[in-house]
Chains A and B, each alone.
Chain A
Amino acid sequence: MDLKERLSGDLQNKEHPSFTNFDTQNQQKWEDPSMLDYSTRIEPPHFLGFNQSSQTQPSNNQIKVPGQDGPVNEALQANKVQEWDPSTMLNNLSFLEQKIHQLQDLVHLIVGRRGQVLGRPDELVAQQQQLITADLTSIIVQLISTAGSLLPSVKHTLSAATPSIGQFGQFGGVVFPPGQGMNGGVQPQNASASKVSEQPNTVDVSSNSGNEQNHIIEEHDMKDEEDAEDGENLLPGTYEILQLEKEEILAPHTHFCTICGKGFKRDANLRMHMRGHGDEYKTPAALAKPHKESSSEPTIIKRYSCPYAGCKRNKDHKKFQPLKTILCVKNHYKRTHCDKSYTCSRCNTKKFSVIADLKTHEKHCGKDKWLCSCGTTFSRKDKLFGHIALFQGHTPAIPLDENKGSIGSCNYTQKSGEE
């Protein structure tokens, strides 16, 4: 019965406050001291003296998580998220099995009771249905996240569809003790922090990704940032230079759930996900952006360097041009120093190393080819005309099929409106 009560209570909370409400609440409640504990984990830079203890924080967090299964958790901790580990899989599967058994018991119970209880049958039936649905949902979520750890490609789609999963996770997180998922995700996050070679003080990688929205944001929305900041002229020495290693740059996720270990590209998405792990993550303060907490403190401008030696974006280059955000680093590194592994399925010629670039290309691929006499094609007419205006002797090339059409129509049409 205990289980039942918790479940129904949770269902009532199912409706989330709208995001705009969140924003106003955040600003008001931000100073709430009870939330500071949580915020330290998200935003270490504001506690500059804290960096030593930040490594120990994962364990703190784990203690707070209610009803964590000790042995399972330990085993999980040893694993790295991304790599396929049979033992983790086994653990997950046995956990799922356990859950299914629980559900089976519950259904048995309901079946047994059906004969005894006669009063108020409608209410009871509704409650039973809710209970079973919730349990099944949590099982499905677990199953998906288990499979997700196995296939990197599945992970992409998962992260894109996070809003719905976040809702499911809510049930899963409450009904069953969380943490049986892939908790190992905490480790890479901290590992990356310690690896930042130049400035160990400013370890917070996650909070700097320049992301200001509460919604799920697709990565390619901001992919042009790398180019946009080219015009920026910061004097050398007026900013800090950070340099990430190749492995970190190529890691698919930068934010990981400390409870289930699920990876995210953006901290906002992670915060949305965290709501499913309990009421303490639903407070406005917990959901707020960890950014901009202290506007009074002078913030030091951070810029990034590409780890590839000899690159113009590398800090040792003579004409070094820093990159603005982590996202810029990632896109720059993939575009410039990686193989172009994504091929356009329509034209089979264009290749990309950033998947968002491929998606952008596919939007225009094959549409209206604007052709110049020099053989260059353009997807947009204004680009073709800009090209022609620039170069001497280049002229718009008229497609051949039009030529045929016009000869035919000229010979045989006699329009009465001609005169």
Chain B
Amino acid sequence: MAGKIEDESNDRVPLRLRPEWSDVTPIPQNNGPNPVVPINYSEEFSEVMDYFRAVYFANELSSRALSLTAEAISLNAGNYTVWHFRRSLLESLKVDLHVEREFVERVASGNSKNYQIWHHRRWVAEKLGLEARNSELEFTKKILSIDAKHYHAWSHRQWVLQTLGGWEDELNYCSELLAEDIFNNSAWNQRYFVITRSPFLGGIKAMRESEVLYTIEAIISYPENESSWRYLRGLYKDEATLYVNDTQVSSVCLKILRTKSNYLFVLSTLLDLICLGYQPNEDFRDAIEALRTSDNEEQDSDIARTICSILEQVDPIRVNYWVWRKSRLPQAA
């Protein structure tokens, strides 16, 4: 057979030779005589799936079928039909789900970017209920310590918090992750999740003040970090007036403008603020004037137009966007 020889296949007894399977007729895949995208399965793979089809179509809810699903999953953890059947088996055989959880963890160690594993994990945790909470939080933390932006792990963690709780340390956890990597947008997203939904924190209105302070500090350390700017804007979602009137926002903008470096997000933020009604004072006009590079650029009394012009120069990948923004500016008063 073409394909590499696995170590296990030397020890592995084919199903057709196992006495406990002797009564089962394996069912080959209905690939047809001329299949497209045909996969050159190993002998082991074909055999396992042929026997799987036999028990699946017969709806045989037995422990040998359960073991078989484990074999099938180890060969292809993406087969959602096998996972689905496994869940039926677990339920009907009343299997201890703590043991199942360990099984999932073993499978996940090779395969963590796989929808089926995470969906199955969620199903198991839901069945186990509250007692699963800490182990689920630990598990996701472990995955995130290897890949701090793992999408499935974060979704699962959010599901655990919402369904089983455990919010108490979550804001701290976000702060830890951000201390390690302030550019970790997943951690910022989680922070937003916590401040808006944690039953212990009183919601965004209550948290806004302290979060603005936290975010501004992050902005000052790394003004080139898009995550913190978007988070700041997010703190004022649906509160345009508060956003425009917050002097901390305008003053951090001015501060960074004056350094004349890493000011891309400052300008973008200012533009948004002006479109929402903010009126920059003389200090801003002077600071922006100081950024204009060429004398050929038209002097524009409209500061928003000036900002767009500067952005067209310093952020060339988005030149079309800035040109369009400029064309959409409210008419100068």
Partners in one complex: no
Give residues in A with beta carbon < 8 Å to B: none
